[in-house]
Chains A and B, each alone.
Chain A
Amino acid sequence: MGYRKLVAKLREEVEKRFVGNREAIKGVTLGLLSERSTILIRGPRGRGKSTLMLLFLKGIFGDDYVVISGASEVKRGEVVARLHLPSLEKEGVERVVWSAFVKAKGKGIDEVNRLNPYTAANIYHMLQFGEVWAYGKRYLTRDFVLIANENPGDPTTFTHPPPFYDRFDVSVYLRSLSLSEKFELQKLLEKTSPVDDMPQVLSFEDLKEAREEVAEVELDVEIMGTINVLVRDLQACVRGRDYSPIKPPALCEGCHFVRGVCSAIKEGPSERATVVLTNLAKAKAWLEGKVDVSDIYELALLVLPHRMELVREGLPLAELREILRREEEINRERESRGQWFLLDKLLKGFKADVYRLAREIAMEDLVFAEELIKLEGKWVKEGAIKPEETLGFEIL
């Protein structure tokens, strides 16, 4: 069986044993298809977070995986490593005993929000670089699968800093079951014990092969452009939101770029969002045979919620959907106004009439303005325009 069929079969087997939340299952499956994948499953108590985590771990590793339960008492030795005391006492040698969690290729963290920040900090580095440091020694974990879950509303939650969550590639939210789905769950539980009955569908080696095939997928430049424009629109702020202690909406007072999506965002996504979104787009193209522009906005819902802080905090997912809808609209406006056509012309050389038109548009579009200002720098050096005539001079 080809690797694509194996991955599709893994998803099917999980779907057979997990009622509802099909989008979350799809999201986790796509998230698995890149190196050192880290997936976060979120939801209130009793939504099946741990079940979903175990179903995927069993489907890939059989019984050969390690799950640690998040609790403030969890010690570094259990999560990362401890010193081998007999060697230290008898021979005076510092031998590091790496934890089963570090050594396992299949890793699970139950209730990651309960891990104390010190323990969580120990796994930061592993999540990003695939290596762990303890007592001056390094252990290369290389490729792995890490699935964690958390209930953000849990009263025992530790507030992990945003960089911790940023290291999770994908996050999925589990919703409660509809009426008919509840009947379905009752029937399922009468027949079987979903996690115990979950078969190992593929091996980790198969998954690694699949990941290599995914990495080789070439995306259309339009897909890459959509990803880059989206992330830049969510990051850009003419007033330096990243460095300012004042955040939107207060920061936006009097700013003429408030028509963009920037005013709805307190903290934008990191560059990891671009990398992960690209990987997901490749995974979707590999697994389903195609990926189009509208898919990018759907995939963004897996990548952005845990990486951003929004002005409206009440319903982050609904608000993010609204921001993405607005983003699609902005892109249609850009297309209609021929902004990229104008920029393409200007990239080839300065033309006064095209520049005038582009300048007008740039007054309403920060991302477009940034690119125009970059070109202005070149034209000023060439003597095509004076510094005081530039857009940069006017708005920065």
Chain B
Amino acid sequence: MEGYFAEYLRKQSKKTARRRRGKAVFIVEQEVEKSSVPSELIDRLLLDSEGDVYIVEKGVAEGLIARIRSLEEENAKLRRINTILQVVVAVLLLLTILLWAFGR
């Protein structure tokens, strides 16, 4: 079977696009259309590729959890500021109405 394997490699080798410059041989890599089904979550996040099953390293998952937590905290902080600003706007609006009503 070793013979068949060597024969297979020889036959496949012929399909490889090559360029010779002097004694050196360069492999000319062809563009291969990539699958839209990655198996890594990072591809999904950064390359916007599609898929249903993702495998992710524990470190990456922990990083994502930490990032989600900090975003949640940021979100809660902004909500608090938003509530304060809403109150300020309401007070200012009330003052404007009062000034307009009694200023006349």
Chain A residues close to B by CB (< 8 Å): 221-222, 224-225, 228, 248-249, 252-255, 258-259, 263-264, 311-312, 322, 325-326, 329, 332-333, 335-338, 340-344, 347
Contacts and interface: CB of A to CB of B under 8 A. Distances in A.
Contacts of A228: 8
| Chief secondary structure at chain A's binding surface | helix
A338 B32 contact: no
Nearest to A262: B39
A57 to B, nearest CB: 37
A336 B29 contact: yes
Given A221-B4, A225-B8, A340-B9, A263 B55 contact: yes
Given A325-B35, A336-B29, A337-B27, A347 B55 contact: no
A110 to B, nearest CB: 36
B10 interface: yes
Given A253-B58, A259-B40, A337-B29, A221 B11 contact: yes
Nearest to B54: A249
A341 B53 contact: no
Interface string B1-40: 0001011111111011110000000010111111101111
Give the residue among B12, B15, B29 with the most A Cβ atoms within 10 A. B12
Given A329-B32, A336-B32, A341-B27, A347 B12 contact: no
Given A341-B13, A344-B13, 12 more contacts: A225-B12, A259-B39, A263-B55, A264-B39, A264-B53, A329-B32, A329-B34, A335-B12, A335-B15, A336-B17, A338-B17, A344-B10
A347 B9 contact: yes
Give the residue among A221, A253, A322, A326 with the most B Cβ atoms within 10 A. A221
Nearest to A344: B9
B36 to A, nearest CB: 10
A233 to B, nearest CB: 14
Contacts of A222: 8, 11-12
A350 B56 CA distance: 37
Interface residues of B, number: 32
B27 A329 contact: no
Interface of B: 4, 6-13, 15-18, 27, 29-35, 37-40, 52-53, 55-59
Give the residue among A312, A332, A337, A338 with the most B Cβ atoms within 10 A. A338
A322 B13 CA distance: 27
A273 B57 CA distance: 32
A264 B53 CA distance: 8
25 contacts: A221-B4, A221-B11, A222-B8, A222-B12, A225-B11, A228-B8, A249-B55, A254-B57, A258-B39, A311-B53, A312-B52, A312-B53, A325-B35, A326-B35, A335-B15, A336-B31, A336-B32, A337-B29, A338-B17, A340-B12, A340-B13, A341-B13, A341-B18, A344-B6, A344-B12
Nearest to A261: B39
B57 A340 contact: no
Nearest to A257: B39
A221 B29 CA distance: 24
Contacts of B30: 335-336
A194 B11 CA distance: 48
B12 to A, nearest CB: 4
A151 to B, nearest CB: 27
Contacts of B7: 221
Give the residue among B6, B7, B32, B38 with the most A Cβ atoms within 10 A. B32
A76 B39 CA distance: 48
Contact of B55 (A252, A329, A333): A252
Contacts of A337: 27, 29
Contacts of A252: 55
A338 B11 CA distance: 12
